[in-house]
Amino acid sequence: MKAAIKDHEIVPEAEWLKARKKLLLKEKKFTRLLEELSEERRSLPWVKVAKDYVFQGPNGKEALADLFDGRSQLVIYHFMFSPEAEAGCPHCSLRADGFDGINVHLKQRDVTMIAVSRAPYKKLAAYKKRMGWSFKWVSSGDTDFNFDYRFSFTAEQIAQGKAFFNYKMQDPGPTEREGHSVFYKDKRGDIFHTYACYSRGNEPFNIHYHYLDMVPKGRDENGRGPFWVRRHDEYGESTAVRK
C-alpha cells in the first residue's frame, strides 16, 4: 500500500487526462449497473408481516405500523446495542454519523428511516443524547423482531456458532448484528417485508468508505477490517495519524 504511494507514476496533465477518461468509461458503466441492480432489487417478491410487534420509543409503545409515521416506506437500521451493553456499537455509531443528517430529505420521498436496537429505550435515548444525533430510535427489547429478522441471536445459537445469518447457516459472531430492513405499508394498512441486507451488503451506506476508496491509501486496513473506528467523541491519539 505504502509503496504504491512512494513510487507512484507522475505524468503531465495530458496523460493524466487520458488515463482518467478511460476510467470514467468504467465508472459510467458501474453507475448503470448500479441502476440495474436497484431495479432488480425492487422487483424481489415481498412477504406479508403477520406478527404484531410493539416497540418502545420516545412516544411510548408503538406498533410497527406506527413507525411508518404516515409514510408508505420504512427503512430500519439495525443498530447493534444489546440489552446488557452500556453504549452502542462504535461501527454502527460511525454509520449513524453518516445517516443522521439525511432523514429530513428521505421524508420528502415517502421514506421514514429509524434505528432499532434491543437495548431498553432509556439506554438508547441516553446514548443518542451523548452522541448528539437526531434520528428516531426505538427499542425492540420486548419483541421477537430482531430475532425474526435475524439481527439478534440466542445464547444457544452463539454457543453453537450456528445461525441463519446473511442467508446461510454460519457463525453470526456476537448476539447483535448490523444491517438494514425495508418494509412497505399499503393503503389497507397491510405491512410487507421487502428487503434486508447484512455484512458487506451495508457498504453502499458507508459513505466514509466511499471517500476512503477514492484516496491513494484506500481503506488501508491490511485485512484487519475497521480496527481504527472509535465513537466520534472517543478519538484520542489512539488511532490518530501522526501530524
Which positions from 3 through 22 interact with other proteins, judged by CB under 8 A? 4-6, 8-13, 15-17, 19-21
Looking up cell 448484528, which residue turns up?
Answer: 177
Find, among 233, 49, 14, the residue nearest to 143 by Cα. Answer: 49
Question: Interacting stretch for other proteins, rule CB under 8 A, among 58-66, 110-118, 137-145, 169-177?
Answer: 110-118
Provide the minimum distance between the beta carbon of 211 and other proteins in the complex, in angstroms, as a whole number: 6
Binds other proteins (CB under 8 A): choice among 3, 52, 169, 211:
211
As given in the structure block, the three cell numbers for residue 32 are: 448503470
Find, among 112, 103, 121, the residue nearest to 61 by Cα. Answer: 121
CA distance 152 to 78: 9
As given in the structure block, the three cell numbers for residue 219 are: 481503506
Binds other proteins (CB under 8 A): choice among 104, 155, 159, 169:
104
Q: Does 109 bind other proteins (CB under 8 A)?
A: yes
Subset of 38-77 contacting other proteins (CB under 8 A): 38-42, 44-48, 72-73, 75
Count the Cβ atoms, other than its own, within 10 Å of residue 59.
Answer: 9
Q: Please say which residue, 73 or 82, places its beta carbon nearer to other proteins.
A: 73
Count the Cβ atoms, other than its own, within 10 Å of residue 18.
Answer: 10
Three-class secondary structure of residue 155 per DSSP: helix
Provide the minimum distance between the beta carbon of 160 and other proteins in the complex, in angstroms, as a whole number: 21
Subset of 174-203 contacting other proteins (CB under 8 A): 180, 182, 184, 186-187, 192-197, 200-201, 203
Binds other proteins (CB under 8 A): choice among 154, 161, 215, 225:
215
Q: What's the angle, vertex CA 11, arms to CA 31 and CA 1, rounded to 5?
A: 65
